[in-house]
Amino acid sequence: MKTPEKNSRRRFLKNSAAVVAGFSIVPRQVLGRGFLAPSDQLTKGIIGVGGMGVGHIPYAGTRVVAICDVDKKHLQSAAALVGGNVKTFHDHRELIALPEVLCILLRLLIGMVLWPLKLPRQARIFGVKNQ
C-alpha cells in the first residue's frame, strides 16, 4: 500500500504557480462580452467641451481622464456626462502636463487662430509627441 506523500513547500509553490499561470492566460472572451482591458484603452483629454466638444466623449476604445474648458457650465455638464473620476481644468497647460493623458482632442472656436498653433508646441514641451 502506498503511503500518502507529504505536501512540501516546493510542491505547494509549483501548484500555486500553475494555478496563477492558468488564470493569467484566460482569453478575453471568457471574462465576458464587451470587456475591454485597460491596456487596450486609449486615455484622452479633451480641450473645449462645449457644444460639439462633447461629441469626443463616447469614442469606442477610449477613456476620458481629463477635460478642460474656460466656461464653468460646459465643464460641469461634460464632467457629469463623463461620470466617474475625471479631472477638470480651466487651464489647458495643466491638462497637457498630465502623464496619464495619451491623446489630446482639441475643439475650439475657429476664430481662435493662435490656440491650435500654440498647443502642439506646448504639448511637445511637456513630452507629448506627434504621432
Per-residue pLDDT of 71-89, as tens digits, reads: 899 999 999 999 878 999 9
How many structural domains compose the chain? 1
Residue 66 confidence (pLDDT) above 80: yes
Q: What's the CATH code of the domain at 83?
A: 3.40.50.720
Q: Tell me which residue range forms the domain holding 105.
A: 38-125
Residue 27 confidence (pLDDT) above 70: no
Alpha-helix runs per DSSP H in the chain: 9-24, 28-31, 72-82, 92-96, 114-125
Residue 81 lies in a domain: yes
Residue 100 lies in a domain: yes
Residue 108 lies in a domain: yes
Residue 90 lies in a domain: yes
Residue 16 lies in a domain: no
Residue 105 lies in a domain: yes
Residue 31 lies in a domain: no
Residue with the larger pLDDT of the pair 127 and 61: 61
Residue 24 lies in a domain: no
Residue 116: burial class (beta carbons within 10 Å; 0-12, 13-18, 19+): exposed
Task: Record the pTM.
Answer: 0.62
Residue 102 confidence (pLDDT) above 70: yes
Residue with the larger pLDDT of the pair 130 and 34: 34
Residue type, 126: F
Binning pLDDT at 50, 70 and 90, where does residue 64 land?
Answer: very high
